[in-house]
């Protein structure tokens, strides 16, 4: 069955679909000896696909791993000798971190060699929900909570609306549960500081349909078959909904 080249390359572990589109545009991909162009399709069983003159790697078994990132561990690959989430997982191969967290934050990160799923879960246009348990300094007023829910102006633009739920109040601190569909760099910390209630603790407890549950801090586990099925269904549904909205918009124009 024919599929677009960037999708086949993602399945073969060569990076995200967007990354592979750049490789195709650069003329580095050939199908049956002919330089491919963006939009071309191929059948990996019957066509000879090469990247930089090398055959497309065989499709590897897809692996999906949930990690509970501790404080002080970084999300990305690192060449400075610092501990990364990759060091916490004793598996060979290359994995994409899905749902990056800053060094001081904790919680759920997905590691996978499935470039297609990684692309669908990380691209901002799909608006996947992320849920955080956040402890902030002091006792935010109802006006502050309302402002956070509506969105605030940061130096890189106004934030989208978010669901902010108060879990526990005291004079010294307040626990919040925050659900949002965007994820700019250190966004929750920046918003909290702007509103006068700096973050004391931040942990992600849900990413899309995946829930952290009782996974211990610094521990990892494979996703269950049911979680993988749900993840694939969820990602596909989000893509179809967005494409449907775009098609309706084009028809109206």
DSSP string, 12-77: TTS--HHHHHHHHHTT-EEETTEE--TT-EE-TTTS-EEETTEEPPPPPPP-EEEEEEPTT-BSS-
pLDDT at 58 over 80: no
Q: What angle do CA 212, 127, 137 make, to 5 degrees?
A: 60
Least reliable range by pLDDT among 8-17, 183-192, 202-211: 8-17
pLDDT at 243 over 70: no
Name the range with the highest mean pLDDT among 84-98, 165-179, 223-237. Answer: 165-179
- The pLDDT, as a whole number, for residue 122 is 79
- The pLDDT, as a whole number, for residue 242 is 56
State how far the Cα of 120 lies from the Cα of 66, in Å rounded to an integer. 17
- 64-125+211-223+231-241: in CATH 3.30.70.2740: no
Least reliable range by pLDDT among 87-91, 96-100, 133-137, 237-241: 237-241
pLDDT at 130 over 90: yes
Domain with CATH 3.10.290.10 in the chain: 3-55
DSSP at 237: H
Judge whether 79 counts as a catalytic residue.
no
DSSP string, 139-156: ---HHHHHHHHH--EETT
Q: What confidence category does residue 110 fall into, taking pLDDT thresholds of 50, 70 and 90?
A: very high
Q: What tokens appear for 128 in the block?
A: 């996947």
More confident residue, 253 or 151: 151
Q: What is the CATH number of domain 129-207?
A: 3.30.70.1560
Cβ–Cβ under 8 Å, residues 116 and 17 = yes
- The pLDDT, as a whole number, for residue 212 is 97
φ, ψ of residue 250 to 5 degrees: the values are -65, -40
Catalytic residue chosen out of the listed positions 47, 92, 102, 156: 102
- The pLDDT, as a whole number, for residue 128 is 83
pLDDT at 248 over 60: no
Domain with CATH 3.30.70.580 in the chain: 64-125+211-223+231-241
State how far the Cα of 251 lies from the Cα of 253, in Å rounded to an integer. 5
pLDDT at 4 over 80: yes
State how far the Cα of 66 lies from the Cα of 97, in Å rounded to an integer. 10
Q: What confidence category does residue 117 fall into, taking pLDDT thresholds of 50, 70 and 90?
A: confident
Q: What is the pLDDT averaged over residues 47-51?
A: 94
pLDDT at 65 over 90: yes
Q: What confidence category does residue 250 fall into, taking pLDDT thresholds of 50, 70 and 90?
A: low
| Helix boundaries (H) for 123-186 | 142-150
pLDDT at 80 over 80: no
Q: What is the pLDDT averaged over residues 197-222?
A: 96
Domain with CATH 3.30.70.1560 in the chain: 129-207
Per CATH, the homologous superfamily of domain 3-55 is: RNA-binding S4 domain (3.10.290.10)
């Amino acid at each position: 069955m024919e599929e677009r080249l960037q999708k086949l390359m993602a399945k073969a572990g060569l990076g995200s679909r967007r990354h592979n589109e750049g490789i195709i545009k650069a003329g580095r991909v050939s199908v049956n000896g002919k330089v491919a162009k963006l939009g071309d399709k191929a059948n990996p069983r019957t066509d000879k696909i090469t990247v930089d003159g090398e055959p497309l790697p065989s499709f590897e078994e897809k692996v999906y791993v949930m990690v509970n990132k501790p404080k002080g561990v970084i999300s990305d690959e690192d060449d400075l000798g610092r501990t990364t989430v990759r060091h916490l997982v004793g598996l060979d191969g290359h994995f994409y971190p899905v749902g990056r967290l800053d060094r001081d934050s904790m919680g759920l990160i997905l590691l996978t060699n499935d470039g297609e799923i990684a692309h669908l879960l990380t691209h901002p246009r799909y608006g996947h929900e992320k849920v955080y348990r956040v402890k902030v300094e002091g006792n935010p007023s109802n006006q502050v909570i309302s402002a956070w829910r509506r969105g605030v102006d940061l130096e890189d633009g106004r934030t989208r609306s978010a669901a902010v739920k108060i879990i526990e109040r005291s004079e010294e601190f307040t626990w919040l549960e925050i659900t949002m569909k965007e994820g700019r760099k250190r966004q929750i910390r920046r918003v909290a500081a702007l509103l006068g209630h700096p973050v004391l603790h931040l942990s992600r407890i849900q990413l899309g349909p995946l829930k952290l549950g009782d996974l211990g801090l610094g521990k990892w586990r494979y996703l269950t078959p049911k979680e993988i099925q749900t993840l694939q269904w969820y990602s596909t549904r989000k893509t179809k909904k967005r494409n449907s909205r775009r098609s309706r918009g084009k028809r109206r124009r």
